[in-house]
RNA sequence: GCCUCAGUAGCUCAGUUGGAUAGAGCAACCGCCUUCUAAGCGGUAGGUCACAGGUUCGAAUCCUGUCUGGGGUACCA
């Protein structure tokens, strides 16, 4: 808000000064070039603008340019090529009052025109979610919340990979685990021996098998299928039932955890039901072929992805007649573009291990006549799990630590905050022992503590409390209803006491920094949305919390002076609102007590 | 080999479209609880922004090359 105000002032000043700047053409693109920043050195004002970039156009030295523009502005000091703005207390009061009156701080319409379909996590229903899925889950859901806060229309979608080879593998694994369990019960002969290596060796497969056998009817049918003493892997009815059952159990397990993590999807798209059962794939293939982008070679059907910059052509239908992973995925993405929702942005979060997959998918999208500029993939670098100080490759361990284990250990709030507190471009080390043992040192608690502290102050302000010495109950600092009225009808002028009561320059400086930062929340949200970078929000919240803790330590909020107390409480209220809103954008709870 | 992400304080990482003296947390050291939550605050110390060139008035940021690490480079998913 304050930044925008300054930019507006600057625009007017530029127009007035254009004549003296060699007839500089002042338009929006020129104004967009001005970058407002908070100088480190307090002598450089509260906001600063560097005008050096105008030197070439105007053929004038930067200090001269700054001087000319500065002469058309108030509250500005010119040093070298810089315009240093000083923010007045009345502007700060106005910004604070605006925050108090805003139902949802940071809410804006910067992405109002966007209709976004965001697909993320999209795990195979073949096992528990791992730590990497946790990163995409936290990242995706936070991005959804942030985009919506900027006015975008967003649909979150989970693509269930339930039609491929992996579903067959998990079925086989569950089958053998069931055999194993029944052998132990003496219900199947010992001659049925397990293969040396199961496609899914994890122990959870035993749980699935045992749940399957808990159904007496299924158990009886399973045993009956082995009347000849041979393995029943070829028994289609049995295999199908096992497959459907396993998928249901494993998917529900994933959904349960995501739900617990407050990660929400509007759509759960089953590859099998949505693509195969509705026969969508041949249609897409036909359109590709019709446009001449496919060819047959070596008994396989190929996509000419090299025509779209891919390094080699890709197989769509293998020589055995089945599709590669790519093919249904092309049909799926084709469908995303064709939906009646008319999305103008198809956004995916993929792990960095799928990076090489982008050119062919992008090529297919182009080949099918869609706009590749609307297709956007957010690549997240992988997560390293650190157990007992050792880096473990995910999934390579027989007994791996699942996302569920991690969430049990460190909690939803800490997991989510940690997962989005670093740029998705950086690979992330997740030290489980550290996160578990030192959970009280987790940055999320720092922010939550600041929020709880605000709430505590707001509670104490209106509640009668016992006198420290006498134990007698004394009246609250302010009356609850009076405070409520004050807040509802707050005018910037009523905040004058907030500033006047502070005499020390350091106190004033801390307050000003805090207010300017609170005022910058909307910008933080916009930046986070534009760059799909929730870590801007975590960073922002940590800064607010630090500045609040700092202010708290030098300035008492609850005083015997009701008018002063009320003014200071407005600051606390604004901080509390912003912390709560920021945490909500990250799907992290904002406790009122800790 | 090629594609891609990263390399910033002892450790983990921020640093937005290039701007004034490079930041935080943890670890280390020194202080602060008779008053609203010490899960807190103040202070000290800690840097060849991997390296070398280039562009620019100005580079941690952009370009080129080199080195190191992660990921990818299937008729796997």
Nucleotide nearest to A526 (CA to C1'): B16
Closest CA to A289 of A308, A319, A325, A316: A316
A36 and A169 both lie in a single domain: no
A432 pLDDT band, cuts 50/70/90, is confident
Task: Tokens for A42, please give them.
Answer: 């307090």
Lookup: tokens for A251: 């998917």
Confidence (pLDDT) at A397? 42
Please state which of the ranges A191-205, A351-365, A574-588 shows the lowest mean pLDDT: A191-205
Percent of chain A with pLDDT over 70: 98
Nucleotide nearest to A55 (CA to C1'): B57
Number of domains in chain A: 4
Q: Collapse the DSSP code of A317 into the 3-class scheme (helix H, G, I; strand E, B; otherwise coil) and give the result.
A: strand
Give the Cα separation of A500 and A89 in Å (integer).
Answer: 10
Tell whether the model's pLDDT for residue A412 goes beyond 80.
yes
Does A449 lie in the same domain as A430? no
Q: For the purposes of burial, counting CB atoms within 10 Å of the CB of A562, is it exposed (0-12), middle (13-18) or buried (19 or more)?
A: middle
Q: Are residues A450 and A537 in the same domain?
A: yes
The predicted pLDDT at position A392 comes to 66
Note whether residue A15 is domain-resident.
Answer: yes
Averaged pLDDT for residues A256-267:
98
**Domain boundary residue among A21, A56, A87?**
A87
Q: What is the pLDDT of residues A24-83, one digit of tens each?
A: 888 877 888 888 888 888 888 999 999 988 888 888 888 899 999 999 998 899 998 899
**Is the predicted pLDDT of residue A395 greater than 80, yes or no?**
no
Same-domain pairing of A14 and A76: yes
DSSP symbol at A60:
S
Q: Is residue A320 a part of any domain in this protein?
A: no
Q: How far is C-alpha A424 from the chain's CA centre?
A: 10
Through-space separation of residue A251 CA and nucleotide B43 C1' in angstroms: 54
Parallel/antiparallel/unpaired status of strands A294-297 and A300-303: antiparallel
Instruction: Report the nucleotide nearest the CA of residue A429, measured to C1'.
Output: B12
Q: Is residue A10 within 8 Å of residue A31, measured between CB atoms? A: yes
A400 Cβ contacts chain B strand, under 7 Å: no
CA nearest A512: which of A31, A47, A17, A25?
A47
Paired strand residues for A314? A303
Cα A81 from Cα A207, distance rounded (Å): 69
pLDDT at residue A475, rounded to an integer:
85
> Which residue, of A235, A259, A283, is where some domain finishes?
A259
Q: Is the pLDDT of residue A433 over 80?
A: no
Most distant CA pair in chain A: distance in Å?
99
Is residue A276 in a domain? no
Among A151, A167, A153, A123, smallest CA distance to A263 is for A123
> Where in the sequence is the domain holding A224, given as residue range(s)?
165-259
Q: Separation of CA A561 and C1' B37 in angstroms? A: 22
Does residue A453 sit in the same domain as residue A523? yes
DSSP state of A323: B
Cβ of A449 near strand B (distance < 7 A) = yes
Q: Decide which of A386 and A532 is more confident.
A: A532
Handedness of CA A175, A178, A180, A183 (dihedral sign): negative
Window from A188-197, A463-472, A490-499, A554-563 with minimum mean pLDDT: A463-472
DSSP string over A411-477: -HHHHHHHHHSS-TTS-EEEEHHHHHHTGGGSHHHHHHHHHHHHHHHHHHHHS-EE-TTT--EE--S
Cβ A525 vs Cβ A537: under 8 Å: yes
Residue A208 contacts residue A250 (beta carbons within 8 Å)? yes
Task: Provide, rounded to the nearest whole percent, the portion of chain A with pLDDT above 90.
Answer: 77
DSSP state of A345: E
Cβ of residue A527 near strand B, that is under 7 Å? yes
Q: Are residues A400 and A508 in the same domain?
A: no
Protein CA at A41 to nucleotide C1' at B30, angstroms:
26
Q: Band the pLDDT of A399: cuts 50, 70, 90.
A: low
Q: In this predicted structure, what is the pLDDT of residue A331?
A: 97
Protein CA at A370 to nucleotide C1' at B23, angstroms: 44
- Is the CB of residue A63 inside 7 Å of nucleic acid strand B? no
Write b or e for each residue in A419-449: b if 16 or more Cβ atoms lie within 10 A of its Cβ, otherwise e.
bbbbebeeebebbbeebeeeeeebbbbbbbe
Residue A520 sits in the same domain as residue A456: yes
List, as one string, the DSSP characters of A556-574: -SS-S-HHHHHHHHHHHHH
If asked whether residues A474 and A545 sit together in one domain, one would say yes
Instruction: Write down the pLDDT at residue A396.
Output: 38
A358 touches strand B (CB under 7 A): no
pLDDT at position A398, please? 43
Give the pLDDT band of residue A468 (cuts 50, 70, 90). low
Task: Name the pLDDT band for A277 (thresholds 50, 70, 90).
Answer: very high
Is residue A491 assigned to a domain? yes
Let me know if residue A76 belongs to a domain: yes
Between A395 and A266, where is the model more confident? A266
- Of A52, A87, A122, the residue that ends a domain is A87
Protein-contacted bases of chain B (C-beta within 7 A): 2-7, 12-17, 19-27, 34-37, 39-42, 57-58, 69-77
Question: Which stretch of A242-251, A399-408, A519-528 has the lowest confidence by average pLDDT?
Answer: A399-408
Average pLDDT, chain A: 92
Q: Which of A15-19, A148-152, A177-181, A221-225 has the lowest mean pLDDT?
A: A15-19
Q: Give yes or no for a contact between A407 and A257, defined as CB atoms under 8 angstroms apart.
A: yes
Among residues A253, A262, A327, A246, the alpha carbon closest in space to that of A294 is found at A327
Residue A77 has which token pair?
């000091």
Interface predicted TM-score (ipTM) over 0.90 = yes
What pLDDT digit, counting tens, does each position of A503-536 carry? 888 899 999 999 999 999 999 999 999 999 999 9
| A124 CB neighbours strand B below 7 A | yes
């Amino acid at each position: 808000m304050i930044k925008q105000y300054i930019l507006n002032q600057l625009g007017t000043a530029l127009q007035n000064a254009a004549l003296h700047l060699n007839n500089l053409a002042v338009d929006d693109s020129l104004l967009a070039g001005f970058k407002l920043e908070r100088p480190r050195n307090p002598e450089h004002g509260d906001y600063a603008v560097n005008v050096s970039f105008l030197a070439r156009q105007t053929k004038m030295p930067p200090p001269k340019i700054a001087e000319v523009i500065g002469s058309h502005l108030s509250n500005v000091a010119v040093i070298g090529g810089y315009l240093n703005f000083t923010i007045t207390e009345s502007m700060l009061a106005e910004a604070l009052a605006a925050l108090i009156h805003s139902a949802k701080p940071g809410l804006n319409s910067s992405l109002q025109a966007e209709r976004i379909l965001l697909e993320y996590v999209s795990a195979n229903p073949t096992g528990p979610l791992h730590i990497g899925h946790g990163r995409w889950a936290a990242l995706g859901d936070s991005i959804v919340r942030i985009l919506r806060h900027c006015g975008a229309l967003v649909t979150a979608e989970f693509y269930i990979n339930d039609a491929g080879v992996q579903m067959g593998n998990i079925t086989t694994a569950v089958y053998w685990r069931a055999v194993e369990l029944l052998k132990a019960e003496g219900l199947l002969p010992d001659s049925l021996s397990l293969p040396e290596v199961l496609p899914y060796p994890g122990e959870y497969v035993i749980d699935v098998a045992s749940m399957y056998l808990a159904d007496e009817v299924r158990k009886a049918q399973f045993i009956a299928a082995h009347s000849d003493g041979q393995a029943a892997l070829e028994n289609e009815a049995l295999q199908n039932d096992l497959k459907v059952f396993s998928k249901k159990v494993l998917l529900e397990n994933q959904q349960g955890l995501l739900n617990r993590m407050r990660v929400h999807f509007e759509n759960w798209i089953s590859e099998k039901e949505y693509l195969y059962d509705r026969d969508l794939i041949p249609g897409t293939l036909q359109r590709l072929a019709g446009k001449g982008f496919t060819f047959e070679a070596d008994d396989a059907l190929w996509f000419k992805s090299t025509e779209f910059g891919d390094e080699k052509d890709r197989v769509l239908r293998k020589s055995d007649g089945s599709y590669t992973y790519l093919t249904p995925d092309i049909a799926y993405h084709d469908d995303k573009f064709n939906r009646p929702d008319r999305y103008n942005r198809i956004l995916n979060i993929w792990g960095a291990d799928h990076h090489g997959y982008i050119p062919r998918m992008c090529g297919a999208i182009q080949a099918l006549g869609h706009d590749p500029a609307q297709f956007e993939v957010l690549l997240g670098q992988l997560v390293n799990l650190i157990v007992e100080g050792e880096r473990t490759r995910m999934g390579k361990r027989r007994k791996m630590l699942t996302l569920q284990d991690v969430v049990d250990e460190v909690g939803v709030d800490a997991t989510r905050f940690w997962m989005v507190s670093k740029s998705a471009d950086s690979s992330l080390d997740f030290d489980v022992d550290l996160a578990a043992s030192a959970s009280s040192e987790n940055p999320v608690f720092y922010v939550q503590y600041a929020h709880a502290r605000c709430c505590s102050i707001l509670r104490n302000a209106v509640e009668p409390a016992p006198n420290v010495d006498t134990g007698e109950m004394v009246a609250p600092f302010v009356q609850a209803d009076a405070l409520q009225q004050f807040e509802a009808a707050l005018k910037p002028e009523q905040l004058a006491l907030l500033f006047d009561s502070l005499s020390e320059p350091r106190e004033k400086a801390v307050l000003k920094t805090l207010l300017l930062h609170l005022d910058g929340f909307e910008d933080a949200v916009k930046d986070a949305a534009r760059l799909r970078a929730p870590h801007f929000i975590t960073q922002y919240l940590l800064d607010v919390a630090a500045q609040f803790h700092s202010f708290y330590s030098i300035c008492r909020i609850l005083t015997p002076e009701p008018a002063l107390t009320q003014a200071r409480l407005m600051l606390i209220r604004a901080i509390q609102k912003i912390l709560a809103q920021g945490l909500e954008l990250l799907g992290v709870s904002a406790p009122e007590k800790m």
